[in-house]
């Protein structure tokens, strides 16, 4: 055992985020295989060329792919490409771009976010229209794009029909549609449809395609599904410090994930473990489930103090401290034993609290 391998306890399990998990063994193998000899830098390598072929198979030959380092970068650059300098984005109030990116879309991207409260994290044409107005008014940032998240920050899912209705509504108003697809694989696995059905075929213009939450070491990918709607991505990526010099190592991971069924296997496992967790806790007295479990997230409200005691053994995040709502996330390497042990701990703490 090397010195660095002992820095953490590999038996430690958490339900805080699908970013807590390690890297899938097949991704590690892909990185190792790419790590020999020299390749041209900045995306002119054979792995990035192969990535375009792989993603074309999922999203259509018209698409263009731009690997980046992280999800915030993917979202900011995608939205910049859709908008003029005076443009604004309609999004759900719970959207990652609105609450979890430290103002990057507005500070770095230079765009106004027009957030809309939703009961389940999902926008509808009617909700979009609460902020989609004022075109031609020089005093108002112009609402020219909509951003939706699949699956949403509350773990809920848009159906193909719901996305198509939004896309048609948005396009009829001269607006463009972005999808934050950090967990797109989980949504496709849960709904039993292709990623293309949820994006290209449903009318999405640009996609932030997730990798890290589904087993990669690092990296996301901007996928311009309608390249004419998102010009200048190659320049925006560099300008926003998201152009990897050794891009082959980002691309090789995406090839391993989406060039096989690894994305589907990993997402299906995460979803199944969340369903198992929900089933295990839904009858426990003193706990209230607050959102439907449609992908790999479980939301629940706990009595005061219970969450903090549970966190002594299993790390997870508060979602709303005022109401005691917490979020439990499952990932590709969550096991049935992990879920059962966590559920038993929850039951024990709630029993002690009564």
- Chain segment 138-159, per-residue pLDDT in tens: 999 999 999 999 999 999 999 9
Q: Are 45 and 247 in contact (CB under 8 A)?
A: yes
CB 14 within 8 A of CB 328: no
Q: What is the rounded average pLDDT for all residues in the chain?
A: 96
Domains of the chain in start order, with CATH, are 4-20+262-353 (3.90.1150.10), 25-258 (3.40.640.10)
With H, G, I as helix, E, B as strand and everything else as coil, classify residue 279: helix
pLDDT tens by residue, 228-250:
999 999 999 999 999 999 999 99
Please give the pLDDT value at position 183: 98
What is the distance between the alpha carbons of residues 144 and 135, in angstroms, rounded to a whole number? Answer: 9
What would the two tokens of residue 179 be? 């999808």
Cβ contact 222:77 at 8 Å: yes
Determine the Cα–Cα distance for residues 9 and 30; give it in Å rounded to an integer.
Answer: 25
Average confidence (pLDDT) over 49-76 = 98
Percent of the chain with pLDDT over 90: 95
- Read off the pLDDT of residues 314-326 as tens digits, 9 standing for 90 and up: 999 999 999 999 9
Q: What band does 5 get if pLDDT is binned at 50, 70 and 90?
A: low
Specify the pairing of strand 176-181 against strand 112-116.
Answer: unpaired
């Amino acid at each position: 055992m090397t010195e660095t391998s002992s820095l953490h306890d590999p038996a430690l399990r958490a339900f805080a985020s699908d970013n807590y998990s390690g890297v899938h063994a097949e991704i590690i193998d892909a990185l190792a295989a790419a790590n020999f000899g020299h390749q041209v830098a900045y995306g002119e390598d054979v792995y990035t060329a192969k990535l375009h072929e792989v993603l074309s198979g999922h999203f259509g030959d018209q698409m263009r792919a731009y690997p980046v380092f992280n999800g915030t970068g993917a979202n900011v650059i995608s939205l910049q490409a859709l908008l003029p300098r005076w443009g604004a984005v309609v999004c759900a109030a719970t959207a990652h771009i609105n609450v979890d990116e430290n103002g990057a879309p507005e500070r770095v991207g230079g765009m106004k976010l027009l957030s809309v409260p939703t009961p389940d994290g999902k926008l509808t044409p009617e909700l979009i229209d609460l902020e989609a107005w004022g075109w031609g008014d020089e005093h108002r940032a112009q609402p020219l794009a909509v951003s939706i998240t699949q699956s949403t920050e509350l773990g809920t899912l848009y159906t193909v029909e719901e996305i198509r209705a939004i896309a048609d509504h948005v396009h009829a108003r001269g607006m463009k549609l972005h999808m934050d697809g950090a967990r797109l694989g989980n949504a496709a696995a849960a709904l039993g449809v292709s990623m293309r059905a949820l994006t290209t075929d449903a009318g999405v213009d640009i996609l932030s395609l997730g990798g890290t939450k589904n087993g990669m070491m690092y990296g996301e990918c901007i996928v311009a599904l309608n390249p004419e709607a998102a010009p200048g991505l190659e320049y925006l990526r560099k300008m926003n410090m998201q152009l990897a010099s050794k891009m082959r190592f980002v691309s090789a991971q995406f090839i391993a994930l989406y060039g096989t069924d690894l994305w589907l296997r990993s997402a299906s496992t995460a979803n199944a473990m969340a369903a198992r967790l929900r089933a295990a806790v839904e009858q426990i007295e003193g706990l209230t489930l607050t959102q439907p479990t449609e992908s790999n997230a479980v939301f629940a409200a706990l009595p005061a103090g219970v969450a903090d005691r549970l966190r002594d053994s299993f790390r997870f995040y508060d979602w709303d401290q005022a109401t005691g709502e917490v979020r439990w996330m499952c990932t590709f390497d969550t096991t049935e034993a992990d879920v059962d042990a966590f559920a038993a701990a929850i039951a024990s703490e709630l029993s002690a609290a009564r």
